[in-house]
Amino acid sequence: MAKMKAAMAAVLVMEKEGVSVAFGVPGAAINPLYAALRERQSIAHILARHVEAASHMAEGYTRAKAGNIGVCIGTSGPAGTDMITGLYSAQADSIPILCITGQAPRARMHKEDFQAVDIESIAKPVTKMALTVMEPAQVPRAFQQAFHLMRSGRPGPVLIDLPFDVQMAEIEFDIDTYEPLGVFKPAATKKQVEKALEMLMAAKKPLIVAGGGIINADASELLVEFAELTGVPVIPTLMGWGSIPDDHPLMAGMCGLQTSHRYGNATMLASDFVLGIGNRWANRHTGSVETYTKGRKFVHVDIEPTQIGRVFAPDYGIVSDAKAALQLFVEVAREWKAAGRLNDYAEWAERCAERKRLMHRKTHFEQVPIKPQRVYEAMNAVFPRDTVYVTTIGLSQIAGAQFLHVYGPRQWINCGQAGPLGWTVPAALGVAASDPTKTVVGLSGDYDFQFLIEELAVGAQFRLPYVQVLVNNSYLGLIRQSQRNFDMDFAVQLAFDNQNVEDPTLRGYGVDHAKVIEGLGCKTLRVTDPEKLVSAFEEARRMAAEYRVPVVVECILEKVTNIAMGTEIDKINEFEDIDCRHPEGREGLVAAGLLE
């Protein structure tokens, strides 16, 4: 046993739990913890410019690599409340991050002390645990419990609040014999998996819906193996994109109201059975339950018991970690294949692949200002197969999901349910901090970009290179498109006459992003000609490698573009951007039975 300050015990536990990087902003109430970090020099610290951004950096860091736990640190009061959006984002997408806040001394709590707030109560609805540690001796066990909870069951975030005097108090603690608590994850039984496989084999046109739980469980290889053993096509959700490579013959496209492929929706509507693994039937994936479920049966596998039946009642439910379930699905499928008990779904899989070949949206527009679809075409041409894309919400994200290609797990890092503007830049920095050798590409509209633009300075200071694609239409584009239903275009224009802008191509676009970006220590390129997009992205990759800072490629878009979306998966408004590759057009697809 050794005597030490409780703050030091917290740092020692984090070391034993595998923490090597933390993101944060110091302050008076958390300085004892920072003193311990400085003394140990074992956990690298990246100084954010905003505490909300630190929480998003932690989330990007966690998502970047299996086993990572992102940590963000802030002082008392507003630092904690700034982290709430980050905690909500992590909770919504089942991402473990640890937020640590300072707090007023215990004697001053609940006495309206400076920057004292009941952050435990505020954070509880958006965390797996929020705890103000009132006894110094409980600090190491509070951190031990935090890591156990973050990793067990459905993953999620934890907040630990440390009063100043608790951090400073001396305790006795033996770190040499410390061991992390065992992780609990529910597992399917063989009998359950056999029943699910029997139901699948009774179908003529089955699909597997692969959710983000598969990526969280590091089970993508098992998913692909199971799909190949059975010959069943896979529809990944937005959070599960990359669990099967886009160019795999059994990758049948994404389904949904916005972030979907035409062929993915058509294949879902043609199916008669769905095995969902690690997904939550999010409404942007399903649309109305009536349309989504009509004419098909469902098996749902999820790690969280209360998730099964939450959106609709499946025909059969299994509570299990995705990896544990898929290990059994592969085992049983192998046994059944050897015994000749598996159906041949080759004809159904070929029909799905035929839709994938023929049902595309047009990308090769030559107009000036640039149409956004052309930007994604150029990104596909330049960025390598192992690129990690990072984005949050807006037309930029929706079009990215429709047009980009993702070939592996953790290569599409997207804030799915919460979708806070400003998330992309700090999250991309967190991804880059996990592995600065990766090709990381952020994707933002101008409003998302402006929310936390100051975090680019973090990338410059800490040498975190990545390419940030900024599609600038000087609009809140998604909200403007939504306002079509109200016959208005109101309070969504970002354009203004910037008297300091000298570039005539920027007149009427408002903010001169290039000046801000350069002032923050980063590099930037601006593209107004669609023919120069490819060369600009190539140059941005070179500059990021040379200067080791974020490089922003600003693409000046037409101001009004409507991206395909709809109210139901069978009622998507494609606008004008159709690229039907069937020689007889849409009528040919219908006649061939590929489209209803």
**Is 355 inside a domain boundary?**
yes
Are 412 and 296 members of one domain? no
Burial label for 228, CB within 10 Å (0-12, 13-18, 19+), is middle
Pick the catalytic residue from 476, 549, 552, 589: 476
In terms of Cα–Cα distance, which of 83, 92, 23 is closest to 57? Answer: 23
d(CA 249, CA 169): 61
Are 318 and 387 members of one domain? no
**Is 39 inside a domain boundary?**
yes
Are 484 and 387 members of one domain? yes
In terms of Cα–Cα distance, which of 161, 173, 180 is closest to 69? Answer: 180
Domain end residue (candidates: 316, 333, 360): 360
* Pairing, β 158-163 against β 316-319: unpaired
**Is 573 inside a domain boundary?**
no
pLDDT value for 563: 87
Any catalytic annotation for residue 87? no
Number of domains observed in the structure of the chain: 3
d(CA 78, CA 162): 15
Pick the catalytic residue from 175, 181, 183, 479: 479
Domain end residue (candidates: 299, 328, 360): 360
**Is 593 inside a domain boundary?**
no
Are 305 and 449 members of one domain? no
- Which DSSP string do the residues of 117-173 spell out, in sequence order? --HHHHHGGGSSEEEE--SGGGHHHHHHHHHHHHHSSS---EEEEEEHHHHHSEEEE
Are 46 and 156 members of one domain? yes
d(CA 49, CA 266): 45
pLDDT value for 464: 97
Are 156 and 285 members of one domain? no
pLDDT value for 590: 67
**Is 106 inside a domain boundary?**
yes
Any catalytic annotation for residue 476? yes
**41 contacts: CB under 8 Å, gap ≥ 6:** none
Q: How many CB atoms lie within 10 A of CB 344?
A: 9
Q: How many CB atoms lie within 10 A of CB 387?
A: 22
- Which DSSP string do the residues of 37-66 spell out, in sequence order? HHHH--SEEEE-SSHHHHHHHHHHHHHHST
Burial label for 396, CB within 10 Å (0-12, 13-18, 19+), is buried
**412 contacts: CB under 8 Å, gap ≥ 6:** 238, 241, 242, 388, 389, 401, 404, 406
Alpha helices in 300-358, H assignment, sequence order? 322-338, 346-358
Are 302 and 405 members of one domain? no
Any catalytic annotation for residue 511? no
pLDDT value for 557: 93
Pick the catalytic residue from 421, 511, 517, 551: 421
Are 311 and 388 members of one domain? no
The domain that holds 21 is classified in CATH as 3.40.50.970
pLDDT value for 596: 61
- Decide: helix, strand or coil at residue 480: helix
Are 232 and 343 members of one domain? yes
**495 contacts: CB under 8 Å, gap ≥ 6:** 474, 475, 508, 509, 510, 559
d(CA 145, CA 152): 10
Are 391 and 486 members of one domain? yes
pLDDT value for 583: 59
Are 221 and 353 members of one domain? yes
Pick the catalytic residue from 51, 87, 126, 131: 51
**31 contacts: CB under 8 Å, gap ≥ 6:** 102
Domain of residue 213, residue span: 190-360
The domain that holds 226 is classified in CATH as 3.40.50.1220
- Which DSSP string do the residues of 376-423 spell out, in sequence order? HHHHHHHS-TT-EEEE-SSHHHHHHHHH----STTSEEE--SS--TT-
**Is 64 inside a domain boundary?**
yes
**Is 579 inside a domain boundary?**
no
Q: Is the peptide bond before 369 cis (omega within 30 degrees of 0)?
A: yes
**Is 341 inside a domain boundary?**
yes
DSSP state of 202: T
Burial label for 141, CB within 10 Å (0-12, 13-18, 19+), is middle
Cβ proximity of 522 and 368 under 8 Å: no
Q: In this structure, what token pair is assigned to residue 289?
A: 């339950």
In terms of Cα–Cα distance, which of 354, 333, 331 is closest to 594? Answer: 354
Residue keyed to tokens 């991309």:
428
Pick the catalytic residue from 12, 21, 25, 208: 25
pLDDT value for 576: 61
Are 153 and 203 members of one domain? no
pLDDT value for 593: 65
Cβ proximity of 572 and 262 under 8 Å: yes
Any catalytic annotation for residue 479? yes
Cβ proximity of 248 and 184 under 8 Å: no
Q: Can you give the pLDDT of all 596 residues of the chain as single tens digits? A: 799 999 999 999 999 999 999 999 999 999 999 999 999 999 999 999 999 999 999 999 999 999 999 999 999 999 999 999 999 999 999 999 999 999 999 988 777 777 789 999 999 999 999 999 999 999 999 999 999 999 999 999 999 999 999 999 999 999 999 999 999 999 999 999 999 999 999 999 999 999 999 999 999 999 999 999 999 999 999 999 999 999 999 999 999 999 999 999 999 999 999 999 999 999 889 999 999 999 999 999 999 999 999 999 999 999 999 999 999 999 999 999 999 999 999 999 999 999 999 989 999 999 999 999 999 999 999 999 999 999 998 888 999 999 999 999 999 999 988 888 999 999 999 999 999 899 999 999 999 999 999 999 999 999 999 999 999 988 777 778 888 888 888 888 878 888 888 777 777 788 899 999 999 999 999 999 999 999 999 999 999 999 999 999 999 998 888 888 999 999 998 886 565 565 556 666 666 666 66
d(CA 484, CA 494): 18
Cβ proximity of 276 and 209 under 8 Å: yes
